[in-house]
Amino acid sequence: MAEKKPAGTVLVAGAGISGIKAAIELAESGCKVILTDDSPQIGGILAKLDYQFPTDHCGMCRMLPLVGREYASQYCLRKSLFHENIEILPFTEITAVQGDGGNYKVELLKKARCIDPAICNEMGECLDVCPVEVEDEFNQGLTRRKAVYQAVPHNTPKLLLIDQQACTRCGECLKVCPTNAINLEAEDEAETREVHAIILASGVKLYNTREFEDAR
């Protein structure tokens, strides 16, 4: 019996609905997947849509795989996307790509969250004591958030991070963190990955139609 060749590694750039769908389908077929996004959390624009009219069902479920639906609950974004063949790298930029099809070297820049998700207990003590408030991008500036924040308020896991542009480094969050997960001096980290293929799933963004009307 011929030995089955292992599937390759695929980098999926963009962790919105299309990127997640591609990642899951590839993972189910046996490929190793590196799912990256320059946003602090995955979900893309669909995370803003949340519950959808007219049933109030979460639209994220529509990206479940076409195969293995009996196990689909493990892919719920609210419970954290999980698959043994998928490595998720949020808050990560692709800075360079070298090579040809089947043999790519991809340079990544993993941005500093200043809160280590591996040891953070997600209880949010740091949120309670943070004295700094800025406009909340998630709600289009209609509300305010802390310098310590969760990019998508309802996502699980919380994946807290610190806005380094807004952070005053007052140290209040350091005083209450029970797991010492906060490092205000954390720096971006560069690394190189070798992959066999790359899928670009850059997604879409909200825009103001008045900008197009004014241009007429």
User: Are both 32 and 102 inside the same structural domain?
Assistant: yes
45 against 145, higher pLDDT: 145
List pLDDT tens digits, range 57-79: 666 666 555 555 555 555 565 55
What are the residues facing 182 on neighbouring strands? 115
Domain CATH number, residue 46: 3.50.50.60
Report the SS3 class of residue 180.
coil
User: Are both 73 and 160 inside the same structural domain?
Assistant: no
Q: Is the pTM of this model over 0.85?
A: no
User: Are both 138 and 94 inside the same structural domain?
Assistant: no
Domain count within the chain? 2
Is there a contact between 159 and 90 (Cβ–Cβ < 8 Å)? yes
Domain assignment of residue 170, yes or no: yes
Total number of residues shown for the chain? 216
List pLDDT tens digits, range 20-45: 888 988 998 899 999 999 999 888 88
Its domain, for residue 129, covers 125-176
User: Are both 149 and 50 inside the same structural domain?
Assistant: no
170 — pLDDT class (breaks 50, 70, 90): very high
List pLDDT tens digits, range 88-139: 999 999 999 999 988 999 999 999 999 999 999 988 899 999 999 999 988 8
Joined tokens for residue 182? 């906060």
